[in-house]
Amino acid sequence: MQPAGLAVLLVAVWCHAVPAIADVQPEQRNFEPSTDPALFAFDRGAGDGGLYTFDNLSVAQDPRAYRPDVGALDFVYHNHEEMTRYLRATTARYPNLTALYSIGKSAQGRDLWVLVVSASPYEHMLGKPDVKYIGNIHGNEAVGRELLLHLIQYLVSSYGSDPYIKWLLDNTRIHILPSLNPDGYAASKEGTCDGGQGRYNSRGFDLNRNFPDYFKQNNKRSQPETEAVKDWISKIQFVLSGSLHGGALVVSYPYDNTPNAIFHSYLSQPSLTPDDDVFKHLSLIYANNHGKMSRGVACKTASPSFENGITNGAAWYPLTGGMQDFNYVWHGCMEVTLEVSCCKFPPAYELRKYWDDNQMSMIKFLAEAHRGVQGFIMDPTGNPVERAQLKIKGRDIGFTTTKYGEFWRILLPGVYKLEVYADGFVPKDVDFMIVEQHPTLLNVTLQPAKEAAEYSASQLPGASYDRPLTPTTPIVNREPARPNAANQDRLIFTS
């Protein structure tokens, strides 16, 4: 279908169908400690009894006095118990904006906590994107862990007074995992800028070398922390993600590995994805909003400098089993690695400086989930087509629809063709356009095939779905809108 044959409508006003929160002010409550962690479950599936368990338990007495009526978060490092108390206190103080759940446990049994911050923290928001931040995958890289706690505090405390934050939380579900490696963190030491003490999990595995790899078989034994992440992102279809690290000041984007790397070395050749333009854009959004990163200054004399504060991962140094490549290739999630501090575990008195440098970057980066195209794949009766396989022509990494028929793809302005394949339906190509000012809504209706078996997406010529994209059953969904204004136009295509 040619662009001229598309029905293009310009919608004058976009109204957000998100219920208003009457009161997000601190509330004085009396809590009794509970021994039941399963108060309610997150996004219940049919007959599965809940995929994740939320923990909104009360706050016990503790030396730091984190209670629901305490609003300030101090600039110190928080051990696992202190972090847990703070997260629970936040959910108690902001029950309409937050929800706390665990995706699993570390090798030593510590919960891998995730806090959702959104105007709809527990409920599916049709057409609205899920995004995530993950910190502390290397246990001794501790700045990101604290930055994510302060991001939580800033988001919940600013919802009632900052229109931009309100827009972001009304239209996005933000999942924040402050520490993926709490065991490694417990073995680390404040003030240690270099070295490997605490980098690995308690079994001695580097978690950022522990994921399946696109270019090479990864024979390292999968760890419980890695398995928890793999299960998590197979159930929630994240659009955008950032992993916070330390030891450099740069944004690194996929690919991290390359088929040509015989050994790992610095200053290798870049290994570019089909979405290299998008990854560079996302990386620059973070670097340019950072207090120092875009200057490209090397942390040490012997360390490389990075033009504009960004780098292709393999061009920096190739690695096998990285998390950002896994997110992108297996699940279509655009993830980058955020190196936010030259010192891995700097003294606590420097944390405020790191927050000042990264605050704007962290917020603006998440808003990029609302750039590009989003829409629904439906059958002629209006029912959603689940697990339809999609690809932007010329960009071989595929992505799938949710059980509600939704899809999202971050793209820069231009003209594109969407290729859609689904079992039992005739394949379809649809042309559409992305403009800078507005997101594009693209709804596609598929016609049933006479014989479904003939149209198996995996057997179609040119589908290019031999890549390790695993069909998933996502449980949460999205709705892009541009951050420029509360009321705005959207470019709409139907086919």
Q: Same domain, yes or no, for 290 and 399?
A: no
Does residue 61 sit within a domain? Answer: no
Q: Same domain, yes or no, for 221 and 141?
A: yes
pLDDT of 224: 98
Active site residues: 339
pLDDT of 265: 54
Does residue 223 sit within a domain? Answer: yes
Is the pLDDT at 379 greater than 60, yes or no?
yes
Average pLDDT across the chain, whole number: 81
| CATH number of the CATH domain containing 239 | 3.40.630.10
Residue 104 CA to residue 62 CA, distance in Å, equals 25
Domain that residue 421 falls in: 373-452
Is the pLDDT at 421 greater than 90, yes or no?
yes
Q: What tens digit of pLDDT does each residue of 296-348 get?
A: 988 988 788 899 999 999 999 999 999 999 999 999 999 999 999 999 999 99
| Contact indicator for 429, 419 with CB cutoff of 8 Å | yes
Residue 131 CA to residue 129 CA, distance in Å, equals 6
Q: Same domain, yes or no, for 311 and 427?
A: no
- What tokens were used for 135? 């910190």
Q: Same domain, yes or no, for 323 and 392?
A: no
**What does the chain come to in residues?**
495
pTM to 2 decimal places: 0.81
Domain boundary among 313, 347, 370: 370
- The stretch 203-225 carries a mean pLDDT of 97
| CATH number of the CATH domain containing 391 | 2.60.40.1120
Residue 180 CA to residue 227 CA, distance in Å, equals 11
Does residue 93 sit within a domain? Answer: yes
Domain boundary among 343, 370, 397: 370
User: Which secondary-structure segment (H or E) carries 146?
Assistant: helix 143-158
Q: How confident is the model at residue 454 (pLDDT cuts 50, 70, 90)?
A: low
Q: Same domain, yes or no, for 96 and 199?
A: yes
Q: What tens digit of pLDDT does each residue of 73-85 get?
A: 999 999 999 999 9
Residue 302 CA to residue 149 CA, distance in Å, equals 32
Q: Same domain, yes or no, for 394 and 251?
A: no
Residue 71 CA to residue 89 CA, distance in Å, equals 10
Is the pLDDT at 272 greater than 50, yes or no?
yes
CA distances from 41 to 15, 102, 268, 348, 473 (A): 30, 11, 46, 36, 17
Q: Same domain, yes or no, for 186 and 227?
A: yes
pLDDT of 71: 54
User: In sequence order, what DSSP letters do the residues of 426-471 get, joined into one string?
Assistant: --EEEEEEE-SSS-EEEEEEPPBPSSGGGG-GGGSTT--TTSSPPP
Q: Same domain, yes or no, for 195 and 129?
A: yes
Structurally, the chain folds into a number of domains equal to 2
- The four Cα atoms 475, 479, 480, 483 give a dihedral, to 10 degrees, of -110
Q: Same domain, yes or no, for 205 and 282?
A: yes
Q: Same domain, yes or no, for 224 and 332?
A: yes
Domain boundary among 370, 405, 436: 370
Does residue 306 sit within a domain? Answer: yes
Does residue 317 sit within a domain? Answer: yes
| Lowest mean per-residue pLDDT among 6-10, 232-236, 431-435 | 6-10
Q: What tens digit of pLDDT does each residue of 153-200 get?
A: 999 999 999 999 999 999 999 999 999 999 999 999 999 999 999 999
Q: What tens digit of pLDDT does each residue of 466-480 get?
A: 333 333 322 233 333
